[in-house]
Structure 1
Amino acid sequence: MPEMTFLIRWPDGAPERCYSPSLVVKEHFAPGESYQVDDFLSRARTALTIASARVEAIYGRPCSLALAQLARIEAGAKRFPDAAAKVAVESFED
């Protein structure tokens, strides 16, 4: 299964390298685009849940790395309650 990382930048300028066990992230984000935190979080939940389910379909168990990444994103998003704050997706790395 192809895995990938994607680089994001939080509204405060802090970068974070994120992991996905599947390329499905490319269906939910575009490099160079910015997303309001709530939208980013919703897209990340969808993409990483699908990625984990794909791993489960092949290996019989969900992907703990994808679920841990989602938990880190959820925790990070809590730091930005301003509805106008945006997360930038800077790049994909296959």
Structure 2
Amino acid sequence: MPEMRFRVRWPDESVSSCYSPSLVIKDFFEVGQSYTVADFVGRSREALTIASNRVKQKYGFACSSAADQLQSIESTAARFKNASEQKVLVLGFDE
């Protein structure tokens, strides 16, 4: 499966390099686009679940790395839960 990384900038200006086991992430995010933290988490959850399911269909088991990445995204996002309008910027895709 073609795996990839996507880079994002959080509201505090920190940058994360996130993993996806599938290119499906490109269907959910656009480079240069900002998303509210809640929207970013929701899109990440949906995309990484689809990606993990694709791994399961191909190899017979879900992708633990996708689950770990989602947990990391949710953990980072929790730091901004009281700032509903803060944005996460998608910086790029690395294939």
- Matching residue of 1:21: 21
Q: Quote the Cα distance in structure 2 between the aligned partners of 1:9 and 1:60.
A: 34
TM-score under structure 1 normalisation?
A: 0.99
Q: 1:59 Cα deviation (Å)?
A: 0.6
Aligned-residue Cα RMSD (Å) equals 0.4
Cα deviations by residue, 1:28-50 (Å, 9 ceiling, x for unpaired): 00000000000000000000000
Task: Provide the TM-score with structure 2 as the length reference.
Answer: 0.98
- 2:88 maps to amino acid: V
Gaps of at least 5 residues in structure 1 are none
Moved over 4 A (4+): none
Percent identity over the alignment is 53
Q: Where does structure 2 lack aligned partners over 5 or more consecutive residues? A: none
Residue 11 of structure 1 aligns to a residue whose secondary structure is coil
Q: How does 1:1-94 map to 2 (within 5 A)?
A: 1-81=1-81, 82-94=83-95
The number of equivalent residue pairs is 94
